[in-house]
Amino acid sequence: MRGPYERVARMASGNAVVVFSVSGCCMCHVVKRLLLGLGVGPTVYELDQLDRGVADIQAVLSHLLASTSPAAASGASGSATASAVPVVFVGGKLLGGVEKVMSCHINGSLVPLLKQAGALWL
Ligand SMILES: *[C@@H]1O[C@H](CO)[C@@H](O)[C@H](O)[C@H]1NC(C)=O
């Protein structure tokens, strides 16, 4: 029996870029569009469409997010259930939520990160 952390780690390392999302989540849509616009084809997990262990995965994701950005854990971005997504992994490593992705995009560190992970070639 694998724990939820291992499950998330396995899912997150399945592609150069992996997005944990919930269908209908606006900020998830924003992140997906940004990545697609940059030419990245991320693996997207719509958590609400998984058949089991969704609550466990969300708990793991919020915990991981909380360890990188205290603001994401405080519920500042909305309801407690929605705050865990989107979560973006690059090269199997946690990048962060929408704010982290956006700030990396704005300061120019996102594209080099994606290239390093093999998500972009040009
Ligand atoms: C860009 O912003 C991110 C997120 O705040 C930060 O982690 C990263 O170190 C910054 N990179 C540069 C080159 O400024």
Look up residue 97 and give its two tokens. 């939520």
Protein residue with its CA nearest to atom 3 in ligand 1? 104
**What is residue 61's predicted lDDT score, i.e. its pLDDT?**
95
Over residues 26-82, the pLDDT tens digits come to: 999 999 999 999 999 999 999 999 989 999 999 999 999 988 765 554 544 444 444
Average pLDDT value for the chain: 89
pLDDT of residue 7: 95
- Report pLDDT for 79: 42
Tell me the one-letter amino acid at 42: P
Residue boundaries of the structural domains of the chain: 2-116
Length of the chain: 122
DSSP string, 38-52: HT---EEEEGGG-SS
3 state DSSP class of 110: helix
Higher pLDDT pick, 83 / 8 = 8
Tokens of 115: 């290239």
Distance CA 47, CA 58 (A): 8
pLDDT at 71: 57
User: Which of 68, 99, 103, 113 for mutating ligand 1's site (highest number of atoms within 8 Å of CB)?
Assistant: 103
Residue 1 has pLDDT above 50, yes or no: no
The residue among 30, 27, 43 whose CA lies nearest residue 92 is 43
Alpha carbon separation from 55 to 48, 58, 65, 93 (Å, rounded): 10, 5, 15, 21
pTM for this structure? 0.88
Fold of 2-116: Glutaredoxin (3.40.30)
Q: Which atom of ligand 1 is nearest the CA belonging to 96?
A: 4
